[in-house]
A and B are shown apart, each in its own frame.
Chain A
Amino acid sequence: MTPETEIADERSAAPSRKWPVAAAVIALIGLGDSIYLTAHHYTAEPVPCSLIEGCESVLTSAYAEFAGLPLALYGAIAYFAAFSLAVLAAFGDTRMWRLFAVLAFLMAAFSGYLIYVQGALIGAFCQFCLLSALTSFTLFVIALASRPWR
């Protein structure tokens, strides 16, 4: 039960490095998107409320904040956590990969809810929010594809 054998065990148990590495890259995209959206939330110059372009309608809606903070900020934290877990997993920590899978599931579920909010409650879609949904769904698919329960 030396640390070396433990690490070796975890390595061999780790399904493959490619999944965590891919997840880390996708999480970085999501992180960048969330950081952009967070900054946008605070600095956005007003634009007209448009029937055609929905982004501002979404970002200025009552649903864009939770507990006084922009949703995008929570997104940035979640993506940073997902990235960190993926990096740790890429270096062989299987437990972190399982945590990643749980987080990816939660993020994908919340993204699904946000798509519902945009479609059904606001009636407009924001491409940067949809990108975030895409990245979180991708993270979840990566987590599933790696079969973390093995």
Chain B
Amino acid sequence: MADKTKPQPKSNAPMLIIGLVLIVGAVAGWYLLTKPKAPTAANNSNTAAANSNAANPKTATIPANAPPGANPPNQAGSPNALVTVEEFADFQCGSCASVHPVMNEIKAYYGSKIRFVFRNFPLPMHDKAYDAAVAAEAAGNQGKFWDMQNLLFSNQKAWASSPTYKTMFKEYAQKIGLDVTKWENDMIATMTKSRVDADIERGKGVNINATPTLYINGVPFQFAEMQAAPLKAAIDAELKKVGEGAAPNPAANSAPANANAAK
């Protein structure tokens, strides 16, 4: 074409601008995708300090007069352990699913040294979370709460976006060997729902506004820290504190803290 040999600066200008924006946009996107993640306090081994620094003003210590929640709660470890780790979670919450393996590790690692309590706190914005909580409680009636809890969290993406999620819950019930008829009856039983409701009441009583929320002997533990290492450090510290008995010596306390940091 003859036109091609004749440069037309005016018609090139828009293409230059568009090309420039395309390149800048691609570079910006690439940069955002690959930039190193901001260092979090979680990498810091000094959990206690990080915890108090980052203390969420909205999440306070569990008051003694808080509603008790479902009784008995869904608990693992020893009911008589001196340290209670209490998690409020929502089965439809992605962050709850992401910390779920950490919680399993904690349960397995400490065994009967701690009491691990799981509280249902389905958030109102999650349309299937309440049903999922009831499904887990109904499994709990047959002693398989934790099996159902595991399946619900590990398959969260599948059922959370599926209109047939109840069928999927039923498949999970079969998978973990429940008496499915009893489980289905329990799903609609007031008794089962009242356990979920009791947990929600407790959550509201302690002003939970996000999930997962974790307490170690009633003291909130920050979400940003919910990885195995910082969580173990905090639980170890609490075990040590309760193990030392009723007469903690402030002077003695600072020395082991240093020794701990040096390990």
Contact = CB atoms under 8 A, between A and B. Distances in A.
Answer whether A and B are interacting partners.
yes
Interface of A: 3, 28, 31-32, 35-36, 38-40, 42-43, 45-52, 54, 56-57, 60, 62, 76, 80, 83-84, 87-88, 90-91, 93, 121-124
B95 A49 contact: yes
Nearest to B212: A48
Interface of B: 3, 10-11, 13-14, 17-18, 21-22, 25, 28-29, 32-33, 35, 37, 40, 90, 93-96, 98-99, 123-127, 160-161, 209-213, 223
A80 B21 contact: yes
Given A31-B21, A49-B210, A52-B209, A60 B37 contact: no
A121 to B, nearest CB: 8
B95 A46 contact: yes
Contact of A57 (B14, B125, B223): B125
B37 to A, nearest CB: 7
A71 B83 CA distance: 45
Contacts of B160: 62
Contacts of A123: 124-125
B33 A48 contact: no
A39 B37 CA distance: 12
Nearest to B213: A48
A46 B94 contact: yes
Contacts of A93: 14
Nearest to A88: B14
10 closest A-B pairs (Cβ-Cβ)? Answer: A62-B161, A39-B32, A49-B93, A48-B210, A123-B125, A50-B210, A46-B95, A91-B14, A60-B94, A84-B18
A84 B25 CA distance: 13
A118 B191 CA distance: 33
